[in-house]
């Protein structure tokens, strides 16, 4: 019998090995997400902002939230230029309404560019997870809100790991984009199993994904 | 339909920009700064031959523009990219860089026949950057990004947009007629789902670049229904309930 050699591309193998321990913890994470405690205000909110329409949608979701969701910690991909301007404009208007309005802005490496191949996405996502662990630890959010950009997967996975290690148990709320009428995005397909609340905006998705929540069109 | 606004959001959608700004319809002459304003009718770009699917006028123009850049320059023996500007010249025959003449009716002519006098192009990250035009009968504005498109949307009588959620929603909320053009190059083309649903509900017209002309020719904007706003307050109530703020 031939000895087993590592397959070619040992860098890829190294990253896969890096992902293996967190993946083995998945069953425990899924069991641990059954219930969470009532929270008292104020709630630290981590908002994952994506490019283009994602940011517009998520700012609309935030528009009706009360003062109890503060501070809002925005996490953006480092290659995203437009979202920062939109967020600052939104927060400025909010500061006119609420005196104690606070927010922060942090950047992480983008886990996947549009049209990036799936195989290289695994490597870049693994790197983003390692990068977002210290950030999530620093921010210690009570609630994480995201709506689909690739950036949200590493942030949510790092929050799950922190919860598992007993450091901070964040509620993960995922709102699928309004563009998704019949199928979920890749982030949605992953986070459907890892989020506490998975919200869809079209009835066809509610039928396909029964664990999701349908509130109608909310953006 | 005096003012038409074309938007691609933060994306790159050269095919749409090429389709609505094909200079053939506006009777243009290409001016090559290198050759001092002479008209150029070179041979067809090598890759253009044998590709029957790329036979429409806008596609030929785009091919010529992209591959024309690779043609070598004879002056000084150096290989330099072609850089030319399109300029509207009344009464002269249209010339494309590939040397071929347009056959079908290009979109800008269709727009003009429906009363369009101002065309505003928001080209995003696209490589294709048509030159602006300022004439008594027709104006073409071109820009990449603005902090807010609200003013351009308000001034438009028709919006032609890619299928991005932000672009579609902002337009529908301004109450403007919207024609959504699908970008077939996107991976898994999920944008088609939203356009199809909005079209099913009667809020938008939709097409792709190859059917743009016939859609523009035959569209009836009065059939579009108003778009009711979304309700983010429902999300706020839901969130308050699940975190226990009651």
pLDDT tens-place string over residues B118-161: 999 999 999 999 999 898 888 999 999 988 899 999 999 999 99
How confident is the model over B84-107, as pLDDT tens digits? 333 333 333 333 333 333 334 556
Q: Yes or no: say if B162 and B154 are a contact pair by the CB < 8 Å rule.
A: no
- Per-window interface: B 144-163 vs A, CB < 8 A: 145, 147, 163
Interface A:B, Cβ pairs < 8 A: 110
Mutate which of A36, A37, A51, A52 to test chain B, going by most B C-beta atoms within 10 A? A52
In this complex, do A64 and B230 lie within 8 Å of one another by their Cβ atoms? no
Give the integer Cα–Cα distance in Å for B15 and B60. Answer: 11
Residues of chain B numbered 177-196 and touching chain A (CB < 8 Å): 186-187, 190-191, 193-194, 196
Strands B133-134 and B139-143: antiparallel
pLDDT (tens digit, 9 = 90+) per residue, B171-215?
A: 999 999 999 998 887 765 676 788 889 999 999 998 988 889 889
Q: What local confidence, expressed as pLDDT, does residue A125 receive?
A: 80
The larger pLDDT score, comparing residue B189 to residue B62, is at: B189
* B235–A61 CB contact, under 8 Å: yes
Rounded mean pLDDT, A69-78: 91
**DSSP H/E element including A180:** none
User: With an 8 Å Cβ cutoff, are A89 and B147 in contact?
Assistant: yes
- What tokens does B112 get? 């003009």
Nearest residue of B to residue A63, measured between CA atoms:
B232
Considering only residues A116 and B167, tell me which one the structure prediction assigns the higher pLDDT.
B167
Portion of chain A with pLDDT greater than 90, in percent = 46
CA distance readout (Å), B66 to A44, A89, A122: 50, 38, 33
Residues of A in contact with B245 (CB under 8 A): 39, 41, 66, 68
Chain B residues in contact with A57 by the CB 8 A cut-off are: 165-166
Query: Taking a contact as any Cβ pair under 8 Å apart, which residues of chain B between 77 and 136 contact chain A?
Result: none
Query: Does this complex have an ipTM over 0.95?
Result: no
Question: Are the Cβ atoms of A219 and B164 closer than 8 angstroms?
Answer: no
Contact of A180 with chain B, judged by CB distance below 8 Å, is answered with yes
User: Taking CB atoms and an 8 Å cutoff, what residues of chain B touch A197?
Assistant: 238, 242
Beta strands at B118-122 and B3-7: parallel, antiparallel or unpaired: parallel
Nearest to B239 among A55, A173, A181 (CB): A173
CA distances from A1 to A4, A6, A160, B56, B166 (A): 9, 16, 41, 61, 59
Q: Is there a contact between A182 and B193 if contact means CB atoms under 8 Å apart? A: yes
Instruction: Name beta bridge partners: A175.
Output: A199
Q: Where are the domains of chain B?
A: 1-28+103-245
Residue A187: strand, helix, or coil? helix
Q: pLDDT at position A109, please?
A: 80
User: Minimal Cα distance from A113: which residue of B?
Assistant: B187
- Cβ contact B160:B43 at 8 Å: no
The verdict on a CB contact (< 8 Å) between B230 and A213 is no
Closest listed residue to residue B209, CA positions, set B62, B15, B10 = B15
Distance CA A198, CA A152 (A): 13
CB contact under 8 A, A66 and B240: yes
What would the pLDDT profile of A9-41 be if each residue is shown by its tens digit?
677 777 667 776 666 666 655 555 545 566 788
Q: Is the pTM of this model over 0.80?
A: no
| Record: fold of B1-28+103-245 | Rossmann fold (3.40.50)
Q: Do B196 and A181 touch (CB under 8 A)?
A: yes
Q: Is residue A50 exposed (0-12), middle (13-18) or buried (19+ Cβ within 10 Å)?
A: buried
């Amino acid at each position: 019998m031939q000895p087993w050699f590592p397959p070619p591309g040992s860098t890829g193998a190294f990253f896969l090995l890096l992902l293996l321990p967190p993946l083995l913890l998945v069953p425990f994470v899924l069991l641990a997400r059954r219930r969470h405690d009532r929270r008292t205000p104020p709630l630290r909110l981590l908002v994952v902002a994506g490019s283009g329409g994602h940011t517009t949608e998520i700012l609309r979701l935030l528009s009706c939230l009360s003062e109890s969701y503060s501070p809002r910690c925005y996490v953006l991909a480092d290659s995203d230029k437009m979202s920062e301007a939109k967020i600052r404009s939104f927060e400025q208007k909010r500061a006119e309404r609420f005196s104690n309005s606070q927010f922060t802005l942090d950047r992480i490496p983008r886990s996947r560019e549009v049209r990036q191949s799936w195989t290289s996405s695994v490597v870049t996502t693994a790197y983003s997870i390692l990068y977002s662990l210290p950030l999530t630890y620093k921010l210690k959010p009570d609630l994480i809100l995201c709506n689909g950009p690739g950036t949200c997967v590493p942030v949510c996975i790092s929050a799950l790991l922190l919860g598992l290690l007993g450091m901070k148990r964040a509620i993960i709320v995922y709102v699928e984009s309004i563009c998704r009428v019949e199928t979920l995005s890749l982030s949605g397909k992953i986070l459907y199993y890892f989020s506490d609340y998975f919200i869809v905006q079209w009835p066809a998705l509610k039928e396909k994904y029964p664990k999701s929540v349908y509130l109608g069109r909310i953006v | 339909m005096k003012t038409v606004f074309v938007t691609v959001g933060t994306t790159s959608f050269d095919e749409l920009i090429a389709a609505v700004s094909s200079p053939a319809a506006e009777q243009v002459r290409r001016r090559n700064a290198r050759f001092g304003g002479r008209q150029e009718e070179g041979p067809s770009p090598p890759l253009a031959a044998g590709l029957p699917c790329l036979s429409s006028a806008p596609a030929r123009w785009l091919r010529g523009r992209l591959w024309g850049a690779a043609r070598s320059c004879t002056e000084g023996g150096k290989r330099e990219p072609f850089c030319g500007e399109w300029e509207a010249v009344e009464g002269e025959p249209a010339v494309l860089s590939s040397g071929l003449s347009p056959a079908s009716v290009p979109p800008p002519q269709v727009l003009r026949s429906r009363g369009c006098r101002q065309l505003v192009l928001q080209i995003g990250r696209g490589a294709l950057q048509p030159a602006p035009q300022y004439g008594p009968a027709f104006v073409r504005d071109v820009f990449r990004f603005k902090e807010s498109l609200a003013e351009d949307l308000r001034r438009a009588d028709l919006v032609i947009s890619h299928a991005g959620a932000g672009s579609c929603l902002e337009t529908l909320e301004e109450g403007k007629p919207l024609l959504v053009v699908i970008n077939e190059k996107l991976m898994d083309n999920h944008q088609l789902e939203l356009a199809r649903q909005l079209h099913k509900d009667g809020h938008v017209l939709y097409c792709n670049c190859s059917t743009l002309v016939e859609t523009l020719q035959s569209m009836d904007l009065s059939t579009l229904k108003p778009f009711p706003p979304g309700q983010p307050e429902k999300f706020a109530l839901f969130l308050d309930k699940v975190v226990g703020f009651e």
